[in-house]
């Protein structure tokens, strides 16, 4: 049985521009953070305000399993399942806690075949927003 890190290392990541294109989002509407992650522009958000709202599933609380499967794994797995039945799906995860940096289980990247990659980027300050927010407070 492969470990989470082995599964993550074997994953073939898609460029974020390719992911965006599948959703009808052009390169001009994303702010790139390398090849595999980006933020959506506020111009795109404003242009979509008049469109019908989609459905939202909010995963807010769960008691994780002893293996550490909790909210992120559930969220990613749910999105994978919906995509498998041809639903248009986007997952928005908050930046993870500092648990992994402190040697505590739970990296907020999911686990097994339901995880977000590149895990090391997600667990090391992602886009920098969380640091900016905590500094502002």
d(CA 51, CA 35): 29
CATH architecture of 4-136: 3-Layer(aba) Sandwich (3.40)
Positive/negative CA dihedral, 11, 12, 17, 20? negative
pLDDT tier at 121, thresholds 50, 70, 90: low
The pTM for the full model equals: 0.64
* Cβ atoms < 10 Å from Cβ of 99: 14
Q: For the chain, which residues make up each domain, given as ranges?
A: 4-136
Mean pLDDT of the chain: 80
| Number of residues that make up the chain | 137
Distance CA 63, CA 39 (A): 30
Q: For 59-97, what is each residue's pLDDT tens digit?
A: 888 887 777 677 878 888 899 999 999 998 988 876 555
- In whole angstroms, what is the distance from residue 80 CA to residue 115 CA? 10
């Amino acid at each position: 049985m492969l470990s989470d890190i082995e599964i993550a290392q074997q994953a073939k990541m898609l460029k974020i521009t390719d992911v965006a294109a599948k959703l009808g989002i052009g390169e001009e509407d994303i702010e790139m953070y390398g090849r595999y992650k980006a933020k959506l522009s506020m111009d795109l958000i404003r242009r979509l305000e008049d469109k019908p709202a989609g459905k939202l599933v909010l995963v807010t609380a769960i008691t994780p399993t002893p293996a550490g499967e909790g909210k992120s794994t559930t969220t990613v797995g749910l999105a994978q399942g919906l995509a498998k039945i041809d639903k248009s799906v986007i997952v928005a995860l908050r930046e993870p806690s500092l648990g992994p940096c402190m040697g505590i289980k739970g990296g907020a990247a999911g686990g097994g075949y339901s995880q977000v990659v590149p895990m090391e980027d997600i667990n090391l300050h992602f886009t920098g927003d969380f640091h900016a927010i905590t500094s502002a407070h």
